[in-house]
């Protein structure tokens, strides 16, 4: 990736800051304040600004809001541990600020889709429609593993984790392409500049809080997620990349059995020539799916 060509956005992005439950949240905004609102929720390790490719492909006018979840992107936070319920409560506060008077249309990817999916069952009256991109929960955990899991969490927490340092944004972009083989090089470089910043001692480092790399003390309880999904009343579109690699250890917020996603109103769409990072590899097709779904409501 020696040509150093970076993707040039078509739609101008602005930044906003909000104090959300003790964290200085960064949010990416596109469009005008009086345009119909869409909220985009990014996945683990990603940033709200990386929905730029999808926003650029939308044909209608929208006010798009995409927060950086606490400890990711520009939402700088340092914590001993991260608890998933905090993201759900953060989303509630963000919607209180940006869509106080009416239910919102939401698009979530991976971990972000899991956040929205839980929220849509906890506060069904606050969600008008939901596009779930590759966010079907995790495989259920074994309660018998709890003692070993708690021990692992305690012992791992005693050492400070760290993200790798990369020689340059171009070097990081090459790693991004390995994860997303269909991603154009100029888009990969754009992603790298959104995921990382220059380090004081040279090279670049991932912006996210390294504490995200620690294991979770609480095991995933799928029955609780299903109980929330069963309360969803909003129309739901499930979007999958045709070539998603469900076996990859780096993709921690997907589950191969999407048939157990129990939203009764859900429709399903498979996007060809895409893996897990659908919004990177096929943003135009994803934009069409989003607009067609919301227009048909």
Domain 14-140+221-295, CATH: 3.40.50.1820
pTM above the 0.85 mark? Answer: yes
Quick one: pLDDT at residue 89?
98
Residue 196 tokens, joined: 């990382």
Quick one: pLDDT at residue 162?
85
Residue 236: name the closest of 98, 135, 137 by CA. 135
Quick one: pLDDT at residue 76?
85
Quick one: pLDDT at residue 1?
52
Domain ranges of the chain: 14-140+221-295
Quick one: pLDDT at residue 164?
85
Quick one: pLDDT at residue 3?
61
Quick one: pLDDT at residue 253?
44
13 CB contacts (<8 Å, ≥6 apart)?
Answer: 28, 29, 30, 49, 52, 55
Q: Return averaged pLDDT per consecutive 10 residues of the chain, 297 residues in all.
A: 81 98 97 97 97 98 98 90 95 98 96 97 98 90 96 90 91 94 95 94 92 91 93 94 64 48 74 95 98 93
Q: Are the CB atoms for 204 and 197 separated by under 8 Å?
A: yes
Quick one: pLDDT at residue 134?
92
Q: Which residues of 57-67 are buried (b: 16+ CB within 10 A; e: fewer)?
A: bbeeebbbbbb
* Helix orientation angle between 169-179 and 185-195, rounded to the nearest 10 degrees: 110
């Amino acid at each position: 990736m020696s040509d150093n060509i970076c993707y040039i956005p078509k739609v101008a992005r602005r930044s906003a800051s909000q104090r959300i439950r003790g964290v200085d949240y960064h949010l990416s905004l596109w469009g005008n304040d009086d345009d119909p609102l869409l909220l985009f929720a990014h996945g683990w390790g990603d940033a709200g600004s990386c929905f730029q490719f999808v926003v650029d492909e939308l044909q209608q006018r929208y006010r798009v809001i995409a927060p950086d979840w606490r400890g990711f992107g520009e939402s700088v936070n340092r914590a001993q541990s991260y608890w998933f319920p905090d993201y759900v409560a953060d989303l509630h506060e963000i919607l209180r600020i940006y869509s106080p008077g009416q239910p919102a249309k939401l698009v979530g990817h991976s971990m972000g889709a899991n956040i929205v999916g839980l929220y849509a069952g906890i506060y069904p009256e606050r969600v008008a429609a939901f596009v779930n991109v590759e966010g079907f929960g995790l495989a259920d955990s074994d309660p018998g593993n709890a003692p070993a899991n708690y021990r692992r969490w305690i012992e791992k927490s005693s050492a400070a984790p760290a993200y790798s340092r990369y020689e340059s944004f171009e070097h990081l972009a090459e790693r991004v392409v390995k994860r997303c083989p269909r991603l154009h090089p100029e888009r990969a470089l754009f992603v790298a500049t959104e995921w990382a910043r220059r380090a004081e001692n040279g090279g670049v480092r991932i912006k996210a809080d390294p504490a995200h790399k620690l294991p979770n003390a609480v095991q995933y309880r799928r029955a609780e997620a299903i109980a929330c999904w069963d309360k969803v009343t909003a129309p739901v579109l499930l979007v999958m990349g045709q070539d998603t690699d469900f076996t990859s250890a780096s993709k921690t917020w997907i589950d191969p059995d999407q048939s157990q996603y129990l939203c009764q109103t859900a429709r399903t769409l498979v996007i060809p020539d895409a893996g897990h990072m659908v919004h990177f590899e096929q943003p135009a097709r994803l934009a069409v799916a989003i607009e067609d779904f919301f227009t048909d409501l």
